[in-house]
Every structure is written in structure tokens, then in C-alpha cells.
Amino acid sequence: MAQRIKYIVVMGSIMSGLGKGILSSSIARLLKKRGYKVLPIKFDGYLNVDCGTMNPFRHGEVFVLDDGSEVDMDFGTYERFLNQSLTGRSSITGGKMFKRIIEKERRGDFLGRDVQFVPHLTDEIKECVKCVGEEEKADIVLIEVGGTVGDLENGYFIEAMRQLAYEVGKDLLFLQLTFVPSLGKGEPKTKPTQHANRLIQSMGIKPEIIICRGDEPLTKEAKEKISLYCNVPFENVVYDPMVPTVYQLPEMLEKQNLYDVLANRLELRKEAVEQSEWDKLVGRIIKPTHELKVGIVGKYTSVSDAYVSIKEALVHAGAVVNAKADFEFVDSEEFEGKMAKELEKYDAIIVPGGFGKRGIEGKIKAIQYCRENGVPFLGLCLGMQMMVVEYARNVCGLKGANSSEIEKETPHPVIDILPEQVSIMEKGATMRLGAYPCILKEGTKSFELYGEKNISERHRHRYEVNPNYVSKLEEGGLIISGVSPKNNIMEMCEWKEGFGIGTQAHPELKSRLEAPAPLFVGLLKAALKRKKKD
Ligand code: GLN
């Protein structure tokens, strides 16, 4: 008989931004280390069906999975910590749930009844959770409830979990993440946690583990108070410290016996079975031998999470080459009016993905600077498209070349809309999304970095290199190093001289500490080589 699935439900209290995703991922990692198949599930209360229509400059990066689902950026954290690819079924949003319920209602599935939050919506949520867990053959389903306890938006998710807890009894455990402020006085204040805990208990839920974020270490007294007033044993109160790298958090939690607490309560095995380089790589992140400065030339954003996967891919690649790759943002719109020489201070440049016209000429100017001055360059999606535009204009002599996304009437649309995109009007989940295969040309730098011919990367775009211009670009010396086997889309290109690679995909989305993205490793290696020469 199949083992019963165990559930861990992580809820955030007091305020947002405490790092629920990183905490959940760290717990998932501790479980994986013991050989368990962990399935993360994220509840998001918003009414969008998925993240695809949200602005990353307001909500953080839109993460894309192999199956083409556009999901919350926490999925990036789960995948990076677990080194495991997830499916869109792990993302349960308010929008998805309401859509299903309304479709059922229209079909007549509830005929004769009024359709309500309880039991219809809560049943739907429980059903989804159980189904994915079973179909994915998970040992442990780890659910992160988006938002903060007390929000109107996630109330029905929490109620669904209360019911699930009642149904599965001891196989489900609630965990409360909380904030314990000190206000610089060295005396952590537990009152907000006590109140938040009571709020949770008023919902019929009893958190069994309390994880405390704080700006100062949690004192023994504070732990005792939380234990006594929140009805949990002393050892179930765990401190979630600031760490030099998030990849260190699993170890920090383990040191406080969090895994043992979980294992005792859920009857899990305690011995580790995983053989992994994780700890060694974390060591290299903390104590790197070299330092590199990478400039990201993109549209301005005050939301630091907008490019989080690129930032993490640089950390992973840095651990391979033993370098700390500091990333600095260059506002491409502002850069349009500046001297290209201002990029001199960077060891490598990345032009990331994006949409629309703003700052585009600044990106092209930065790419030209890299090509002419031998600065290692990586172009991601829009970055690759602009690499092609720059090459067409300045090397192939195609005056006014552009992407038709940027300039409809350009005389040379070297980047043009994908044929299947022309008739699409709806905006949700309609781009070329998810993992697509690519065949690399032997003898190219791209091939050398991947070390194989057949690769697969994730995509999110509507435009492509115009096939009518490929021979002109090749005649001009641009190397097309990767092509999609089915529909002949140009997937990758590179310069003959120096290190300059552009990819239509988003390799940063598949980069993990234990499986770094080859193009990022290549970029940093080239940057180090160039730096050593100077
Ligand atoms: N805007 C471009 C396209 O749709 C690039 C998209 C991206 O960078 N993700 O093709």
C-alpha cells in the first residue's frame, strides 16, 4: 500500500516579506536530504489565473516552468533549492480556483444549490492539493500559504487547510513564520507573535512550530515566552537568522534541530541519504577567491525581485568559478544619454529580457560597446534580439534595423513576430512559453559550454529572429549557434571574437546551485580571464 502523504503548511504572520518562500524551500531541502520526494505547493490569493499578466516591476519576476506555466517567483526558489522541476499544478491561485468553480456552476455540477466559499471553494482547494500530491507520488506536500494571516484574500485557503488537517489528523502540521522585532535594544519583543498566534488559533488552527525572523538573535527569554504563550515546546521555537547567502539557511535551521522536531512529529527518518556538493558550494559563496562586477543593462526598476533569477544564476555560476559576481544595475533609459565608456568598470554585461520600447537604444549602445571592446556579454531573450539588431545595424550595414515590436515600420525587421502569434489577441498564457528543445552547432562556444548538442531551455516571448535575415546576418559574420529543431527558430547566436552570446531562451530560469546555467558560467569564466589579463 502506498504511504500516506504528510503535509506541512507554512503560514506567514504579522507582515509580508519575511521570506516564507526561502523558509519553505529550506525545509523542503532538509526533507529531500533524507530521501523524501517533496512537492511544494503555493497558494496565492489574487484573482489572476496566473502571474503572466502581472508587471514584474511591481510584483517581482514572472517565473516560467517547463510546462509553460507562468508562476510566482517563489517557484524559482523551490526549484533552485530542490534541484527539481515543478509543474504549474503546484501553483494554486484564487483566480484558478474561482474559474474552476464558476465553470462547474455553469456546467450544472452544483445544480439546485447555491455555490459558496464553504464548502465548494474549500473542497476544490483540498481536492487540488490531494490530487497533485498523489499524482506526483509525493511523500510530503509542503504548502506555502501566500500573504499574511488575517488577510481577506487567503482566508479561504487557510480554512481549507484547517479542514484538511481535521481529515488527515496527525499527518498535517502547521508552521507559523513570524517577526520578532528588537528595535536595536537587544530585547526581542514577542507580543506581536503572541497576538498573531491567537489570531491563527481563532481560525481553529494550532501552529506547532514557530519560526522567528528578527533583526537581532532570539534570546532564551524570548523563546521561553513564545513557547509558553503560544502553546509550543521550547525546541519548536526556531530562529530564522539573516544569512550571507540564502543557501545557508537549511544548515542554520538544521543546527537548531528543526529537522528533528519535524521528523519526531511526522514520524520521518532522520538519516541523510543525499550525496550533494551543496555544502561545498555554499562555502565558496561565502568565501570566494575572486570578485567580479557584472552590469545588468535593463529598464529601471525599484523592485529588486524583478531580475531575481539572473541574480541567482550569477551566484550559482560564481560558486563554480570561485568568484563573487556583484551585480549592479544600469538604467538603460538613462544610459542612452551617457558615454558608452561608463561601462568600463564592469567585467561583464548582461542585457536581460523585457518588453517594449523604453530604454531600448541604451541596450543596443551597451551591446555595441561590449562587442567593440571585448567585454564579455550575455543577451537574454530581448537581450539576444537587441544583439541581433546591433549587429545588423553596425556590422551588416542594415541601416535602421530594428525589432518590429519596437518600431513597426522599420526598413529591416530583423526581429519579427512569430507567425503563430500574429492572430493571437488574448494576453494570458499566449506567448511561446516553457521548455523547447534547441540543437547546438558543433564547434561553437555555446556548444562547448553546454557540452552537448541537444539542449532544452525555457522561453517566454512573442518575437524571433526574422528567418529572412538569417543568411545576411551570417554573411556579416554572426554565428547562429542554436536552432529550434521543429520550426527553425533561431535560438542562439554568438560573436566570432571575444565572448558574446545571445539566447532567445531564459537559461537563468533553470539555473540551480547544483546545476548552474552553462552560459552564465561561460560569462563569468570569460570575465575572469579578461580581468586576469589586465
Ligand atoms: N519582447 C520580446 C518578445 O516578446 C522579448 C521577450 C522577453 O525578453 N522575455 O519576443
Say yes or no: CB of residue 61 within 6 Å of ligand 1: no
Distance 64 CA to ligand 1 centre (A): 13
Average confidence (pLDDT) over 381-397: 98
Residues 316 and 443 in one domain: yes
> How many domains would you assign to the chain?
2
Distance 316 CA to ligand 1 centre (A): 24
| Among 240, 273, 306, residue at a domain's last position | 273
In the three-class reduction of DSSP (H, G, I as helix; E, B as strand; rest coil), residue 248 is classed as helix
**Run of H or E residues at 210:** strand 209-213
**Run of H or E residues at 9:** strand 6-12
Say yes or no: CB of residue 355 within 6 Å of ligand 1: yes
Cα distances (Å, whole numbers) of residue 393 to 88, 403, 468:
40, 12, 16
Say yes or no: CB of residue 405 within 6 Å of ligand 1: yes
* Residue 255 confidence (pLDDT) above 60: yes
Task: Please identify, by atom number, the ligand 1 atom nearest to the C-alpha of residue 418.
Answer: 10
Say yes or no: CB of residue 460 within 6 Å of ligand 1: yes
* Residue 1 confidence (pLDDT) above 60: no
Closest C-alpha to 124, from 85, 155, 92, 90? 92
Average confidence (pLDDT) over 16-45: 97
pLDDT for 177 equals 98
Q: Are 360 and 406 in contact (CB under 8 A)?
A: yes
Say yes or no: CB of residue 418 within 6 Å of ligand 1: no
The confidence band for 2, taking pLDDT boundaries of 50, 70 and 90, is: low
Q: Is 283 a domain residue?
A: no
Q: In the annotation, is 51 catalytic?
A: no
Say yes or no: CB of residue 353 within 6 Å of ligand 1: yes
Say yes or no: CB of residue 126 within 6 Å of ligand 1: no
Q: Is 202 a domain residue?
A: yes
* Residue 69 confidence (pLDDT) above 70: yes
Q: Is 284 a domain residue?
A: no
The pick from 381, 402, 433, 508 for probing ligand 1's pocket by mutation, whose C-beta has the most ligand atoms within 8 angstroms, reads: 381
Distance 105 CA to ligand 1 centre (A): 37
Residues 348 and 467 in one domain: yes
Average confidence (pLDDT) over 114-118: 95
The pick from 417, 461, 465, 508 for probing ligand 1's pocket by mutation, whose C-beta has the most ligand atoms within 8 angstroms, reads: 461
The backbone region for 163, taken as left when phi is positive above 0, alpha when psi lies in -120 to 50, beta otherwise, is alpha
Average confidence (pLDDT) over 500-512: 98
**CATH no. for residue 335?**
3.40.50.880
Residues β-bridged to residue 454: 439
Work out the mean pLDDT of the chain and round it to a whole number. Answer: 95
Per residue in 134-175, pLDDT (tens digit) is 999 999 999 999 999 999 999 999 999 999 999 999 999 999
Q: Quick one: three-class SS letters along 130-159?
A: HHHHHHCCCCEEEEEEEEECCCCCCHHHHH
Distance 146 CA to ligand 1 centre (A): 28
In the three-class reduction of DSSP (H, G, I as helix; E, B as strand; rest coil), residue 275 is classed as coil
pLDDT for 233 equals 98
Q: Is 145 a domain residue?
A: yes
Distance 428 CA to ligand 1 centre (A): 15
Task: Please identify, by atom number, the ligand 1 atom nearest to the C-alpha of residue 353.
Answer: 8
Pairing type for strands 172-179 and 6-12 reads: parallel
Q: Is 86 a domain residue?
A: yes
Q: Is 51 a domain residue?
A: yes
Say yes or no: CB of residue 104 within 6 Å of ligand 1: no
Closest C-alpha to 28, from 268, 202, 194? 268
Per residue in 457-500, pLDDT (tens digit) is 999 999 999 999 999 999 999 999 999 998 789 999 999 999 99
Q: In the annotation, is 491 catalytic?
A: no
Per residue in 339-368, pLDDT (tens digit) is 888 899 999 999 999 999 999 999 999 999
The pick from 62, 418, 460 for probing ligand 1's pocket by mutation, whose C-beta has the most ligand atoms within 8 angstroms, reads: 460
Helix residue ranges, H only, 433-469: 445-450
| Among 218, 248, 273, residue at a domain's last position | 273
Active-site choice (144, 159, 491, 508): 508
Q: Are 208 and 232 in contact (CB under 8 A)?
A: yes
**CATH no. for residue 14?**
3.40.50.300
The confidence band for 94, taking pLDDT boundaries of 50, 70 and 90, is: very high
Residue with the nearest Cα to atom 5 of ligand 1? Answer: 382
| CA 477 to the chain's CA centroid | 35
Residues 247 and 375 in one domain: no
Q: In the annotation, is 506 catalytic?
A: yes
Say yes or no: CB of residue 307 within 6 Å of ligand 1: no
| Among 241, 273, 305, residue at a domain's last position | 273
Percentage of residues of the chain with pLDDT beyond 70: 100
Per residue in 186-236, pLDDT (tens digit) is 889 999 999 999 999 999 999 999 999 998 999 999 999 999 999 999 999
Say yes or no: CB of residue 489 within 6 Å of ligand 1: no
How many CB atoms are closer than 10 A to CB 428? 12
Residues 293 and 399 in one domain: yes
Residues 300 and 254 in one domain: no
Full domain range(s) for residue 109: 6-273
Say yes or no: CB of residue 381 within 6 Å of ligand 1: yes
Task: Please identify, by atom number, the ligand 1 atom nearest to the C-alpha of residue 356.
Answer: 1
* Residue 303 confidence (pLDDT) above 90: no
* Beta carbons within 8 Å of 266's beta carbon, 6+ residues apart: 6, 8, 140, 170, 171, 173
Residue with the nearest Cα to atom 1 of ligand 1? Answer: 355
pLDDT for 185 equals 82
The confidence band for 87, taking pLDDT boundaries of 50, 70 and 90, is: very high
The pick from 51, 463, 465, 508 for probing ligand 1's pocket by mutation, whose C-beta has the most ligand atoms within 8 angstroms, reads: 463
Residues 225 and 336 in one domain: no
Residues 163 and 244 in one domain: yes
Say yes or no: CB of residue 29 within 6 Å of ligand 1: no
* Residue 435 confidence (pLDDT) above 60: yes
Active-site choice (230, 370, 381, 438): 381
Residues 483 and 426 in one domain: yes
Residues 435 and 477 in one domain: yes
Residues 435 and 347 in one domain: yes
Closest C-alpha to 122, from 169, 152, 154, 150? 154
Distance 373 CA to ligand 1 centre (A): 26
C-alpha cell at 347: 567585467
Q: Is 385 a domain residue?
A: yes
Residues 252 and 295 in one domain: no
Distance 320 CA to ligand 1 centre (A): 29
Q: Is 280 a domain residue?
A: no
pLDDT for 304 equals 74
Task: Give 183 or 520, the one with higher predicted confidence.
Answer: 520
Say yes or no: CB of residue 6 within 6 Å of ligand 1: no
CA end-to-end span of the chain? 65
pLDDT for 486 equals 86
Residues 267 and 296 in one domain: no
Distance 493 CA to ligand 1 centre (A): 16
- Complete DSSP assignment for 226-239: HHHHTT--GGGEEE
Say yes or no: CB of residue 124 within 6 Å of ligand 1: no
